[in-house]
Structure 1
Amino acid sequence: MTAELKKAELHCHVEGAVSPALALAQAKKYGVDTWHFIEDGSYVWKDFTSFLHAYDRTAGLFRNEEDYALLAETYLTELAEVGTIYSELIISPDHAESIGLGANDYVAGLAAGVEAARAKTGIEGRMIVSGLRHKGPERVEWAATYALRNPHPLVTGFNMAGEERMGRVADFVRAFEIARDAGLGITIHAGELVGAESVRDAMDLVRPSRISHGVRAIEDPALVERLAEEGTVLEVCPGSNIALKVFPSFEGHPLRALHDAGVRVTLNSDDPPFFHTSLAREYEIASTMMGFSDREIDAMTRTAIEAAFVDEATRTLLLSRL
């Protein structure tokens, strides 16, 4: 039974983890009308562009350190209640700057929430600074430079998210070099809305240890073989992929094929309430719709811990909890 399995997550956007109930409470706090992006207790969007709009409107309901502490603590506590021992939250200093909060206060608020959840439940959490691809190379480099100049013990990785169909991977290489110089773990969104060439470019140019999504690699057998040989970990988000119509059904999703080809894969929720999912549901989908055994799912969790952007003492402790 997947409900009894320990769980770990490497890929969840923190503002994308806001439940509609929490969003409505925040909207009431700030007097914001939500009719155009929350209806009947659910987020409303129809394609990737409108999803980003709903995401941004929801993010705009969090405006100070206390709001972000509440968000991180709430989400991580929910994860712990279903047996999750580790979570990495993808965060956006760009968003903090855009609302006038400031990146330092944003990170401080989130860190307070991470620490509160750990004190209450024992769950370990880390943060992954992300640049937004659709804002262009300069802003992605700004996010990396921010992480370099403002080290924080709970900020352990760097990612690039946003609209994958904009720009070339080559345009953003310098940002990843800055992040690598900061000692951060490297991952990158690729192979979600764009095909296998996006994954190949990421591997060639960015050299990440992990790839966010990466599932379109299935379109190129040689690339799948390379992923397996190099041990690059894929942060797979099946519920997100189906919601965004990257694949038509869970039965047609390539997680099983990638796994059976020897690719190191993990289970993740991405932006769970926006996609009517949760980490627990992703584990259940892997079991009931994709035919993975509990032993295979446990191995994916172990892979997530092995690939986590944590110090070795923490990794050893987490592995002992499996």
Structure 2
Amino acid sequence: MEPHPVSERPIRALPKAHLHLHFTGSMRHSTLVELAARHGVHLPDALVEEWPPQLHATDERGWFRFQRLYDIARSVLRTPEDMRRLLHETAEDEAAEGSGWLEIQVDPSGYAARFGGLTPTVELVLDAAREASAATGVGIGVVIAANRTRHPLDAKTLARLAVRYTDQGVVGFGLSNDERRGRAYDFEGAFRIARRGGLLATPHGGELLGPQSVRECLEMLRADRIGHGVRAVEDRRLLDEIAERQVTLEVCPTSNVGLGVAATPRDVPVRTLFDAGARIALGADDPLLFGSRLARQYELARSHHGFSDAELAELARQSVHASAAPEHIRKRLLEGIDEWLRLPAADARESREAPAACR
């Protein structure tokens, strides 16, 4: 297939929704270094001089190293002010990337011991999200995520907690961490609780394991979106089913390369998924560990997969449609996407400093 001509429309001016971003992983590198110094946390070279770290997590040793670096980064968040700062800066960065709606994923279990328990942690995150949204104009929803490496009963506890806060900003229920250490069907009960409570089901699947992991998320957890899901390309019948059921795949190109799921950005099957009719929401996953944010994922679709401006706009639309954004935010973003396409490239380039999603 011949690539489409590359246009000059700036991707940061394209309004979009960001649906795959982890809480600690959204932190600015400069903030990590500053908070580590303030709280006396020693950072390994991989998070300082050698940042972003070289990762390859398709084997257990590699995943352990990735998780260890993530846990060290999380340990610098010691006070409520640190948590509020993280979300405020993340929202600022989202606005600069052209994102008008963010769904940030957090496992409160990782912070509960420091902030007084699961419920106070969730309330702190939600309060910080409201403050960050008011300050930046970026809408923020929270996805409560269970950890695959913990007992399914813990996931049920989190699901019940998430449902209690659906009217205060919790929009989804996820499942993260190493797919090889917790099968999706073990968590069906937790997702049943979340769905009955009106939450989107957004488990990870099809990253470190193949299409069967995606199928379990689809059939056992009745996923609305699947985090990553790129291994679905290995099973054409499954891919057709994903397209038919309009399940969105949260594809994170830089992350896939960083963790060794794909050898190069060109090997991430964005084009194959798109041409098969699968809905895609591009995401940055953990910018703190992979070194790039949302706009870079669209740039990779353009430069490595030949996406035209019309196709990039369609990716942005799909991210909005797959989100839990309120109707007035959806309307604003979708109108902004149409406006981005109507503008000649030169005019769009001039609007680089004021993305349509944030005006």
Q: RMSD over aligned Cα, in angstroms?
A: 1.8
Match of 2:241 among 220, 226, 245: 226
TM-score (norm 2): 0.85
Match of 2:210 among 188, 191, 195: 195
Quote how far apart the aligned CAs of 1:140 are: 1.5
- 1:28 is matched with which residue? 37
Quote how far apart the aligned CAs of 1:151 are: 4.3
1:4-47, Cα deviation, whole Å (9 max, x unpaired): 32232100001111122111111122111113552316254642
Quote how far apart the aligned CAs of 1:246 are: 0.5
Alignment of 1:281-292 (within 5 A): 281-292=296-307
Whole-Å separation in 1 of the counterparts to 2:80 and 2:119: 9
Identity rate, percent: 34
- 1:38 is matched with which residue? 47
Contact 2:144 2:173 in 1 (8 A): yes
Contact 2:172 2:202 in 1 (8 A): yes
Instruction: Kindly tell me the number of residue pairs found equivalent between the two proteins.
Output: 322
User: Using CA pairs below 8 Å that are at least 6 residues apart, which structure has the higher relative contact order?
Assistant: 2
Q: Aligned letter for 2:133?
A: R
Alignment pair present for 1:114 and 2:129: yes
Alignment pair present for 1:182 and 2:197: yes
Compared with structure 1, are the counterparts of its residues 113 and 97 closer, same or farther at alpha carbon in structure 2 (3 Å cutoff)? closer
Quote how far apart the aligned CAs of 1:314 are: 3.8
- 2:341 is matched with which residue? none
Alignment of 1:150-299 (within 5 A): 150-299=165-314
- 1:6 is matched with which residue? 15
TM-score (norm 1): 0.94
Alignment pair present for 1:147 and 2:162: yes
Contact 2:226 2:248 in 1 (8 A): yes
Whole-Å separation in 1 of the counterparts to 2:250 and 2:206: 11
SS at match of 1:183: coil
Deviates more, 1:147-156 or 1:224-233: 147-156
Whole-Å separation in 2 of the counterparts to 1:273 and 1:93: 19
Whole-Å separation in 1 of the counterparts to 2:48 and 2:269: 32
Whole-Å separation in 1 of the counterparts to 2:309 and 2:118: 40
Quote how far apart the aligned CAs of 1:202 are: 1.1
Deviates more, 1:81-90 or 1:35-44: 35-44
Quote how far apart the aligned CAs of 1:220 are: 0.4
Q: Aligned letter for 1:167?
A: G
Alignment pair present for 1:125 and 2:140: yes
Whole-Å separation in 2 of the counterparts to 1:167 and 1:114: 30
- 1:54 is matched with which residue? 69
Whole-Å separation in 1 of the counterparts to 2:329 and 2:42: 43
SS at match of 2:93: helix
**Which runs of 5 or more structure 1 residues have no equivalent in the other structure?**
none
Quote how far apart the aligned CAs of 1:152 are: 4.7
- 1:84 is matched with which residue? 99
Contact 2:28 2:89 in 1 (8 A): no
Whole-Å separation in 1 of the counterparts to 2:23 and 2:77: 11
**Which runs of 5 or more structure 2 residues have no equivalent in the other structure?**
1-8, 56-61, 338-359
Whole-Å separation in 2 of the counterparts to 1:44 and 1:250: 17
Quote how far apart the aligned CAs of 1:148 are: 2.5
Quote how far apart the aligned CAs of 1:83 are: 1.7
Alignment pair present for 1:315 and 2:330: yes
Contact 1:196 1:219 in 2 (8 A): yes
SS at match of 2:325: coil
Deviates more, 1:143-152 or 1:287-296: 143-152
